[in-house]
């Protein structure tokens, strides 16, 4: 199973004068959704999180199931519900308001047995810096320990640092925890812009070296239209993504890249084919509006 772990939120997007359309969204969810499209039937794709027992939580699970994503491991909690965000438009610019501090997903690692049970079937586990950011300090430790045990038991671990300092208590904690997480991973898949802003890396090669030094098995640095750098101890290769015109909305570029990269790598073990798949899918996703774009026919 390809198992993504994180927070899926309710999204309220403006649909007219004063009305909103409800959807579900989240970085790790995007990756699971695209991985499901890209992987063949010999792989299950699952999502692990915690949700409430209320109607909106049930609707989110239905949404995932309709997308053929396995939700059987998801933790349900009576006393909490989903996080929510509202998108507002002003003069063509989008702004976001969040209600997520009490979301059930913040407790996804609070019950270690439930978390570990969900990992048992996983051949590849994918999580992000957002998955870590929303947890308590104690749960982060427990989560990373669970990742270490799953890896020892044979799972591969993939991680996108997805640096969002506003979700963390402070930037130093974010940097320390993301660095520790990189050390338990087979694949660390950052976007250079984040690394430049929050780690002060001079160039993508610096990000590669920093994550290899932290103990990452392989590092894949995305950088918008620029070269994707792929490295493991001793080798560094650069791949130029195919140029993309008519860019409409870059939401989920990195999430979709990660999904197709990992899916192709799991299928073929070929790095060049994996980057081409990742960049090919991300290139199509950014040519359309929204995070979840049906573009498999052209993958």
Q: How far is the CB of 192 from ligand ADP (least distance, A)?
A: 6
Q: Is 123 in the site for ligand ADP (CB under 6 A)?
A: no
Residues 157 and 92: their CA atoms lie apart, in Å, by: 39
255 is catalytic: yes
Burial of 41-71, coded b for 16+ CB within 10 Å and e otherwise, reads eebbbbbbbbbbeeeebeebbebbeebebbb
How many residues lie near ligand ADP (CB under 6 A)? Answer: 18
Q: How far is the CB of 210 from ligand ADP (least distance, A)?
A: 17
Q: Is 286 in the site for ligand ADP (CB under 6 A)?
A: yes
Residue 180 C-beta-side C-alpha neighbours within 13 Å? 16
Q: Is 223 in the site for ligand ADP (CB under 6 A)?
A: yes
Q: Which is nearer to ligand ADP, 46 or 283 (CB)?
A: 283
Residues 32 and 90: their CA atoms lie apart, in Å, by: 31
Q: Pick from 158, 254, 265, 276 the residue near ligand ADP by CB under 6 A.
A: 254
Name the one range near ligand ADP by CB under 6 A: 13-21, 38-46, 275-283, 290-298: 275-283
Q: How far is the CB of 228 from ligand ADP (least distance, A)?
A: 5
Q: Which helix (H) or strand (E) holds 234?
A: none
* 227 burial level (CB within 10 Å; 0-12, 13-18, 19+): middle
Q: Is 253 in the site for ligand ADP (CB under 6 A)?
A: yes
Please, which residues have CB within 8 angstroms of residue 183's CB and are 6 or more apart in sequence?
Answer: 214, 215, 216
Please, which residues have CB within 8 angstroms of residue 89's CB and are 6 or more apart in sequence?
Answer: 14
Q: Is 225 in the site for ligand ADP (CB under 6 A)?
A: yes
Q: How far is the CB of 259 from ligand ADP (least distance, A)?
A: 11
Q: Is 131 in the site for ligand ADP (CB under 6 A)?
A: no
Q: Which of residues 180-209 bind ligand ADP (CB under 6 A)?
A: 191, 193
Q: Is 224 in the site for ligand ADP (CB under 6 A)?
A: yes
Place of tokens 């990000």: 207
Give the count of beta carbons closer than 10 Å to the beta carbon of residue 121: 14
Q: Is 292 in the site for ligand ADP (CB under 6 A)?
A: no
**Pick from 170, 166, 184: which is nearest to 101 by CA?**
166
- Read off the tokens for 109: 């690692």
201, 203, 255, 294: the catalytic one is 255
Q: How far is the CB of 112 from ligand ADP (least distance, A)?
A: 30
Name the one range near ligand ADP by CB under 6 A: 102-110, 150-158, 218-226, 264-272: 218-226
DSSP secondary structure code for residue 115 in this structure: H
Q: Is 241 in the site for ligand ADP (CB under 6 A)?
A: yes
Q: Pick from 158, 279, 291, 293 the residue near ligand ADP by CB under 6 A.
A: 279
Can you spell out the DSSP letters for 183-203?
A: TT-SEE--BHHHHHHHH--SS
Residues 115 and 146: their CA atoms lie apart, in Å, by: 8
Q: How far is the CB of 203 from ligand ADP (least distance, A)?
A: 14
Q: Which residues are catalytic?
A: 255
- Site for ligand ADP, rule CB under 6 A: 191, 193, 222-225, 228, 241, 244, 247, 250, 253-254, 257, 279, 282-283, 286
């Amino acid at each position: 199973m390809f198992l993504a772990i994180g927070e899926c939120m309710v999204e309220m997007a403006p649909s007219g004068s004063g009305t909103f359309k409800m959807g579900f969204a989240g970085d790790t969810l995007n990756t699971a959704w695209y991985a499901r499209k890209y992987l063949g039937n010999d792989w299950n794709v699952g999502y692990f999180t915690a949700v409430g027992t209320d109607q909106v939580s049930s609707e989110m699970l239905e949404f995932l199931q309709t997308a053929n994503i396995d939700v059987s491991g998801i933790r349900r909690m009576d006393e909490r519900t989903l996080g929510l965000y509202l998108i507002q438009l002003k003069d063509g610019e989008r702004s976001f308001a969040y209600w997520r501090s009490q979301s059930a997903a913040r407790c996804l690692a609070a019950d270690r047995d439930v978390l570990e049970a969900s990992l048992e079937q996983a051949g590849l586990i994918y999580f992000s810096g957002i998955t870590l950011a929303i947890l308590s300090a104690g749960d982060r430790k427990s989560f990373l320990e669970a990742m270490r045990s799953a890896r020892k038991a044979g799972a591969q671990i993939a991680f996108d640092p997805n640096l969002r300092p506003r979700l963390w208590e402070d930037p130093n904690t974010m940097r320390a925890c993301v660095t520790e997480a990189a050390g338990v991973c087979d694949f660390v898949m950052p976007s250079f812009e984040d690394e430049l802003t929050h780690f002060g890396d001079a160039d993508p090669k610096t990000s590669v070296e920093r994550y290899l030094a932290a103990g990452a098995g392989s590092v894949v640095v995305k950088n918008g239209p620029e070269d994707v750098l792929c490295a493991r101890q001793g080798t560094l290769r650069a791949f130029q993504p195919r140029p993309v015109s008519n860019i409409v909305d870059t939401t989920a570029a990195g999430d979709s890249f990660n999904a197709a990269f990992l899916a192709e790598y799991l299928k073929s073990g070929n790095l060049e084919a994996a980057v081409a798949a990742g960049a090919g899918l991300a290139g199509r996703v950014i040519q359309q509006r929204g995070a979840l774009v049906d573009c498999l026919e052209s993958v």
